[in-house]
Chain A
Amino acid sequence: MAKKETKKRAPLFHIIKRGRDALPWYFGMLVRAIAVVAALLVCGVLITLLTGKNPLQVYGSMIDGVFGSSRRIWNMLQSLSMLLCVSLAVTPAFKMRFWNIGAEGQVLIGGLACTATMMFLGDKLPLWLLLTVMTVASMAAAMVWALLPAVCKAYWNTNETLFTLMMNYVATQLVAYFLKVFVKDGSGVLSPMPQYGLPVIGGHAYLLNVLVVVLLTVAVYIYLRYSKQGYEISVVGESENTARYIGINVKKVIIRTLLVSGAICGLAGLLLVGGTNHTINTSTAGGRGFTAIMVSWLGKFNPLYMILTAFLVVFLERGAQQVSTDFRIPSAISDIVTGIILLFIIGCEFFLQYRVVMRKNGKEGA
């Protein structure tokens, strides 16, 4: 009887956590590549079922939508840099295991401060001073938005995920309110003010944005990797108790990191309002605050990997949009495709962290 039970209970397989450096470097890349390819296949099948078109044509249309012309490439670079900028903003906080999902609101409030500066000081200040005030205002506003949850987390351990989530909607409503106050005709649409925008360099409207984000990526990489503050962030993220034990002031680190995070969000708001749209509406952040979380997490909080993951997301979004116009299927397909691929990549992380061991036959009875 007892023997029978042991046989029954031996599971078919069990799961073991991998050690720290048990994996060759290419293994992670390989698993992720397989996941992306598998996801693309699933999406290809899905689109084929919906449209009856050859999947190869669909992939061709995606690539065409992203790289088809120099205008498309610039649009792609612009989307990429904006998404990357927001992702860089949330990364220090995430590395500290502070789940800041309020980037959406922080970007919006930064953009709102920028818009207000452009409207009210635009004709009063010389351009160089105006640009300085815009930058300071956007960053300060977003820092305040990030500071509130950080202080509550540091002093009373308030759940930051939920707090920052709520702040998004407060920011959205504030923007909606001010749009109705600013725009006198009641349409709620603020006409663009390109005369007060960031300067255009090199003849390309988006070149400045791209350059700023490139510099920012390097800066954040160095900050997290080589600075003392970056080290403190990783320690607090790994174990708050260890951090306290070795004399790190955890409260100070939380607040300081969120100020950095907020400042970069404010910068993203500045680039979106001052450097791109020259106006604001409630969807200026466009869900980037949420997508950025996935970009940052998939990139393992490493700014250099994040360039790749951000590119993947942007490629999918823009490619799927092209597919929807080429084959006349609803544009919502881009959300579906992005969702499926993200779920695949999220799922494949399992195989990097754990190992599945099958039961060895014959050994159980002994």
Chain B
Amino acid sequence: MLAFLVSAIRLGMTFLLGSTGETITEKSGHLNLGIPGVMCVGAACGCYAEYIYLSVAGRAAIPVLAVLIPILAALIGAGVMGLLFSFLTVTLRANQNVTGLALTTLGVGISDFMIDKTGSIFSKGSKYFTASLPFAEDLGWFGELFLSHGVFVYLAIVIALATSFVFNRTRVGLHLRAVGENPATADAAGINVSLYRYAATCIGCGIAGLGGLSFIMDYLNGNWEYCIDAIGWLAIALVIFTVWKPNLAILGSIVFGALYIASSYIVGVSFAGKELFKMLPYLVTILVLVITSMRSKKNQPPQSLGLPYFREER
């Protein structure tokens, strides 16, 4: 049971990073369906940076650098994808769904290409990310559940809480939400709509890219054995599941992680039944989506989600 929870938390944090990134993007009115591709690119850039760093530094690798360099690379790589997305959708006013899907194709291609060059095993680098506090094991179940994780788990929670704080308690957050709800009004109030959309998308993509890296380096222990894009779609699902609230997403992501891996921990599920179990996160998301749309005006997606903004259009 404990192992199950620990594993659920580790996987959940990948979802959390992805969904926090997508929430920031969606709050600005951008529906970025390129998140799976962005996560792939983030993971690919991070892993590649780690691969280069470890082969240059060899045995003299410094743990802090071995963690920071890939994180930085993932942020930059995924951020560039975000920049591409916002250039097309904000400056060139392209359709967001189509741009996002093209970005996913591109991102998956880039990461597959990289794996082909470097091989899919990054376990050497992974141990820097999964290293936990030295005294965690002495504290029994408490230590195992809360302190035994690698750096990404704490990073994800901090980012989610910070995002939630920015959304609800700061002027920047208020402006961002205004841009997502009604860009024309925000524009009239003197808010730079394009700037907010660019910034939110790039930051959001950067965070989602970290999610991709955490999936490979932390959850899979550096074995890039299957594609991340399914995880990316689940991250988008999580945004809906937690009704665009990053602080709720901390719990939601653990629920998703648990649902995703439940089939391997429950005794007596048949070989085929496991496949049905994997359906659960999606079914739950559909349910939440339908129920929230049936109920009151609260907890709705940002009103102008997916719509381009052109000042002179009436």
Query: Which residues of A line the B interface, CB within 8 A?
Result: 15-17, 99, 101, 152, 156-159, 161-163, 165-170, 173-174, 176-177, 180-181, 186, 287, 290-291, 293-294, 297-298, 330-340, 342-343, 346-347, 349-350, 353-354
Q: Besides A353-B93, A354-B93, 11 other CB < 8 A contacts?
A: A168-B233, A180-B271, A290-B104, A293-B97, A332-B109, A335-B112, A336-B106, A342-B105, A343-B106, A350-B92, A350-B93
Q: Is the CB of B293 within 8 A of A152?
A: yes
Q: Are A293 and B93 in contact (CB under 8 A)?
A: no
B293 touches A159 (CB 8 A): yes
> What residues of chain A lie closer than 8 Å to B111, measured between beta carbons?
332
| Residue contact A290 to B233, C-beta cutoff 8 Å | no
B72 within 8 A of A: no
Q: How far is the CA of A297 from the CA of B117 in the complex (A)?
A: 34
Residues of B near A99 (CB, < 8 A) are: 97, 306
Residues of chain A within 8 A (CB-CB) of B103 are 339, 343
Q: Are A158 and B289 in contact (CB under 8 A)?
A: yes
In whole angstroms, what is the CA distance A335 to B301 when docked? Answer: 31
Q: B289 touching A159 by the CB < 8 A rule?
A: yes
CA distance A298 to B111 in the complex (A): 26
A294, B102: Cα distance in complex, Å: 8
Closest to A282 in B: B275
Contacts of B312 in A (CB 8 A): 15-17
- Interface class of chain A by DSSP: helix
Closest 6 A/B residue pairs (Cβ): A339-B106, A335-B109, A332-B112, A330-B116, A180-B272, A350-B92
A347 near B94 with CB under 8 A, answer: yes
A-B pairs with beta carbons under 8 Å apart, 22 shown: A17-B310, A17-B312, A101-B33, A152-B293, A159-B240, A162-B240, A162-B289, A166-B282, A168-B233, A169-B230, A170-B279, A174-B279, A294-B98, A294-B102, A330-B112, A330-B113, A330-B117, A335-B105, A335-B106, A336-B113, A347-B88, A349-B92
CA–CA, A186 and B275, complex, Å: 13
Whether B94 lies near A349 (C-beta < 8 A) is yes
For B98, B99, B310, the residue with the greatest tally of chain A CB atoms inside 10 Å of its CB is B98
B residues less than 8 Å from A347 (CB atoms) = 88, 92, 94
CB-nearest residue of chain B relative to A354?
Answer: B93
Complex CA–CA separation, A279 to B285 (angstroms): 30
**Which residue from chain B places its CB closest to the CB of A338 in the assembled complex?**
B105
Set A166, A291, A293, A343: member contacting B286, Cβ < 8 A:
A166
> Cα distance A177–B278 when bound, in Å?
10
Question: Which A residues touch B109, using CB under 8 A?
Answer: 332-339
B225 within 8 A of A: no
- Minimum Cβ distance to chain A for residue B94 (Å): 5
CB-based nearest B residue for A346 = B94
- Name the residue among B97, B237, B312 with the largest chain A CB count within 10 angstroms: B97
Given contacts A181-B272, A332-B109, A343-B99, contact A17 B285 (CB under 8 A): no
- B84 at interface by CB-CB < 8 Å: yes
> Closest residue of chain A to B270, judged by CB?
A180
Q: Kindly provide the distance from the CB of B17 to the nearest chain A CB, expressed in whole angstroms.
A: 19
Is the Cβ of A343 less than 8 Å from the Cβ of B84?
Answer: yes
> Which residues on B sit within 8 Å (CB–CB) of A354?
93
- Contact (Cβ within 8 A) A173 B279: yes
B106 — which chain A residues lie within 8 A by C-beta?
A: 335-336, 338-340, 342-343
B108 an interface residue at 8 Å Cβ cutoff? yes
Residues in B neighbouring A346, C-beta threshold 8 A: 88, 92, 94-95, 98-99, 102
Tell whether B57 is near chain A: CB-to-CB under 8 Å: no
A residues in contact with B306, CB < 8 Å: 99, 161
